[in-house]
Structure 1
Amino acid sequence: MKRIWICLLWLACLCPMYGQGLRILFIGDSITDGNWGNSDGSAVPSAGRNLWDMNHIYGSGYMYLCASYYQSKYPGKGYEFFNRGISGNALADLEKRWEEDAIALKPDILSVLVGTNDIHYYIGGPHAEPFDTLGWEKRYRALLDRSLRANPNLKLVLGAPFTAFTGSMKESEGFALRDSLVHTLARIVKRIAVEYKAVYLPYDEMFETLLHEAPSSQDTYWIWDGIHPTPAGHRRMSELWIKEVERAGIL
């Protein structure tokens, strides 16, 4: 612990711009996680991850690409980014850690991407009852409301969940139902984004376009297993994030 604090003090002296600008928080599941903090893709709690090694602080996905873009292009603005994606998380998991990982960090901008695991667990388990879309929407709104009460000036960036019939997903059953439910959650997120005046990121539509344009022999080029983007896919996600956030003028 002493060594970690020494490193943090050293970073503060070496990089005085850190902590002086806007705080941008990304929260979600493995797509945001990107093996953040040397977690090896496992569901290690945020407090148990590497929070100081600047070589591994953001993981290796779209969140990393967004952070590296802004921090390299605007070094004088002191932008401070946080990755709080955890592999395997569904909306209920975010709810359990919302206070620690979303509110306590006091972000100025909150970027949320969640939903694919909610559907994944539903498809993989007994589901005599329809998926509770109304309950999911209510829980999603409640989390945003908690953050807005803590910071009424908070800017929201909401990403649509997505899936694809690629790679190992072709070997699983129930893709039609999965695809339909993921699109339903995407429509819910879009509706919430409109009502909350948030930036909306139509990742589902983006990947559908990319997959349609990709040669059939390369259907894993953008999403390799039906859920997780490839490096190329993450790059396109970051480009969409940057484009829409700058269009909204919040960063």
Structure 2
Amino acid sequence: MKRIITFAIGILFIVLSAVAGGQRVLFIGDSITDGNWGNSCGTAKPSSQRTLWDMNHIYGSGYMYLCATYYQGNYPEKEYEFLNRGISGNTLEDLEKRWEEDVIDMKPDVLSVLVGTNDIHFYLQSDKKKPFDFAAWEKRYRSLLDRSLQANPNLKIVLGAPFVANTGNMRKSADFAERDSLVRRCAEITERIAKDYKAVYLPFNKMFDEILKTIPTSKDTYWIWDGIHPTPAGHKRMADLWIECVKL
């Protein structure tokens, strides 16, 4: 009888382990992360309104997809679970509004955040009566990470630097210099936060600076087609950097 009970417990453990799967890796951010995951059709649909069962479109297209395919394709025995929670047009404030549902409730083991470009974009579109509040932006960012660490003290955090480039239609923008300066300030803050939280920092901005400077192409849109969104080639380089630095 004891052998039967022991055997049954062993089988139950195996089944529960299989159900539990491996590490859960969650990406959150704006359109660069979004990539039309869950059949969003280019809209900013909330996660609850996206197709969560269609594995053909579950990750969308972009660096997040490439990271997931790398780990899931090469290490099936580890049963990594990836989640895309990027939503086009989102700012840090938008992430805050859905943090409980799209981050805390998902119980990730690894959290990858890329945000900042839209914060500056919408600020530049405003009347700009006051300077961009970097102190408030940093405080909000830290608060979100604190909430996640409170829910999971062992959470591995990955923070990506926001970036822009003077390519494509962005070349027609009269405020590119200001935009570039403000986005770089957000990147500096992100790097400081990453250091304080012992998080993995991904210098996407410096990566693209180097690529655009050292790899000449016939079209300036080869890596970032509109000054904000990477092409497939750009997303591949982002994924390579993520994989190299994060090391799941």
TM-score by length of 1: 0.90
Rounded Cα–Cα distance in structure 1 between residues aligned with 2:216 and 2:149: 44
Maintained 8 Å contact 1:214/1:221: no
Q: Matches of 2:167 and 2:18 in 1, distance apart? A: 43
Secondary structure of the 1:36 match is coil
What SS does the corresponding residue of 1:67 show, helix, strand or coil?
A: helix
Aligned position for 2:132: 131
Aligned residue for 1:27, secondary structure, equals: strand
Distance 1:176 1:80, change over 3 A: same
Identity of aligned residues (%): 69
The residue matched to 2:218 in structure 1 has which SS? helix
Instruction: Provide the C-alpha distance between the structure 2 equivalents of 1:151 and 1:173, rounded to a whole number of angstroms.
Output: 44
1:5 paired residue number: none
* Alpha-carbon distance in 2 for matches of 1:19, 1:116: 35
Is the 1:29–1:114 contact (alpha carbons within 8 Å) kept by the matching residues of 2?
yes
Q: Distance in 2 between matches of 1:109 and 1:94?
A: 17
Aligned to 2:94: 93
Counterparts of 2:80 and 2:145, CA distance in 1: 22
Per-residue deviation, residues 179-237 of structure 1 (Å, max 9, x unmatched): 00000000000000001000000000000001112336321110000000000000000
Deviation at 1:77, TM superposition (A): 0.8
C-alpha distance in structure 1 between counterparts of 2:19 and 2:221, whole Å: 38
Moved over 3 A (4+): 16-19
| Structure 1 unmatched ranges of 5 or more | 1-15
8 Å contact kept, 1:19–1:78: no
Say which one has the larger Rg.
2
Per-residue CA deviations over 1:151-193 (Å, capped at 9, x if unaligned) read 0000000000000000011112211110000000000000000
Name structure 2 gaps, 5 residues minimum.
1-16
- Secondary structure of the equivalent of 1:217? coil
8 Å CA contact retained: 1:29, 1:85: yes
What is the TM-score normalised by the length of structure 2?
A: 0.91
CA contact (8 A) 1:33 1:41 kept: no
**Could you say which residue in structure 1 is the equivalent of 2:71?**
70
- Aligned-partner SS, 1:81: strand
How much has 1:40 moved relative to structure 2?
A: 1.7
